């Protein structure tokens, strides 16, 4: 067993914040020593919690469209490491949508995992939780501004909105995302894979 495999086994046994998880702990994370692109998203939804397969939902379909990759390419961990801000489903928020990802998860596990995936050429920060955690003061006033000004972070980091259906209106309202960001993202992903 490699060091990374042993670490991921420990992650899968984690119950650190289980008292805050309505469906219990079911950490969903994938990585390989050869992973080239790292996706840091939010946290699994119920569909992903039930299937155990990350991005196995409509958001994942939209993300794959943005990346222009098929499922086989996406789910090969030698291509993509999938390490969300919270590895377990965090429950539903009162106003609809899901609760924020566990605040304990990334500080507990991310550094350890990232140390073992040294071949990452591109990190996709999907949504404001990942952007705030990894960009800190470099985030702009709003997610739209951070995503719009993606050239500040390239070539190794690309901030993205969450591909959830909840952001369909945002995507329509911000045509520059399809016109400028997606062509760059697709070229960069193609170049790396």
Positions that interact with ligand SF4 (CB under 6 A): 11, 14-18, 25, 27, 86-88, 102, 104-105, 108
Cβ at position 108, least distance to ligand SF4 in Å: 5
Residue 140 in tokens: 């702009």
Angle between helices 3-12 and 105-115 (to 10 degrees): 160
Concatenate the DSSP letters of all residues of 16-47 into one string: TTGGG-TT------B--TT--EEEE-----HH
Cβ at position 138, least distance to ligand SF4 in Å: 25
Q: Which residue has the tokens 């999907």?
A: 126
Cβ at position 26, least distance to ligand SF4 in Å: 8
Cβ-based nearer residue to ligand SF4, 112 or 174: 112
DSSP H helices, 52-193, are 58-67, 71-74, 105-115, 128-135, 143-148, 168-173, 176, 182-192
Cβ-based nearer residue to ligand SF4, 20 or 148: 20
Cβ at position 13, least distance to ligand SF4 in Å: 9
Cβ at position 91, least distance to ligand SF4 in Å: 11
State the burial class of residue 73 (Cβ atoms within 10 Å of its Cβ: 0-12, 13-18, 19+).
middle
Q: Which residue has the tokens 């945002």?
A: 170
Cβ-based nearer residue to ligand SF4, 105 or 185: 105
Cβ-based nearer residue to ligand SF4, 90 or 147: 90
């Amino acid at each position: 067993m490699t060091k990374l495999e042993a670490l991921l086994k420990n992650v899968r046994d984690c119950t650190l914040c289980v008292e805050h998880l309505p469906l219990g702990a079911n950490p969903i994370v994938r990585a390989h020593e050869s992973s080239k692109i790292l996706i840091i998203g939010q946290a699994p939804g119920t569909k992903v919690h039930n299937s155990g397969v990350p991005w196995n939902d409509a958001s994942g379909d939209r993300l794959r469209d943005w990346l222009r990759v098929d499922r086989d390419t996406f789910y090969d961990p030698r291509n993509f490491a999938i390490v969300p801000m919270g590895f377990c489903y965090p429950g539903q928020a009162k106003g609809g949508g899901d609760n924020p990802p566990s605040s304990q998860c990334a500080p507990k596990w991310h550094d350890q995992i990232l140390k073992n995936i040294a071949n990452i050429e591109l990190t996709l920060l999907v949504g404001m939780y990942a952007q705030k955690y990894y960009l800190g003061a470099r985030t702009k006033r709003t997610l739209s501004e951070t995503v719009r000004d993606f050239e500040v972070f390239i070539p190794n980091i690309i901030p993205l909105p969450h591909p959830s259906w909840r952001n369909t209106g945002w995507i329509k309202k911000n045509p520059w995302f399809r016109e400028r960001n997606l062509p760059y993202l697709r070229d960069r992903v193609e170049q790396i894979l």
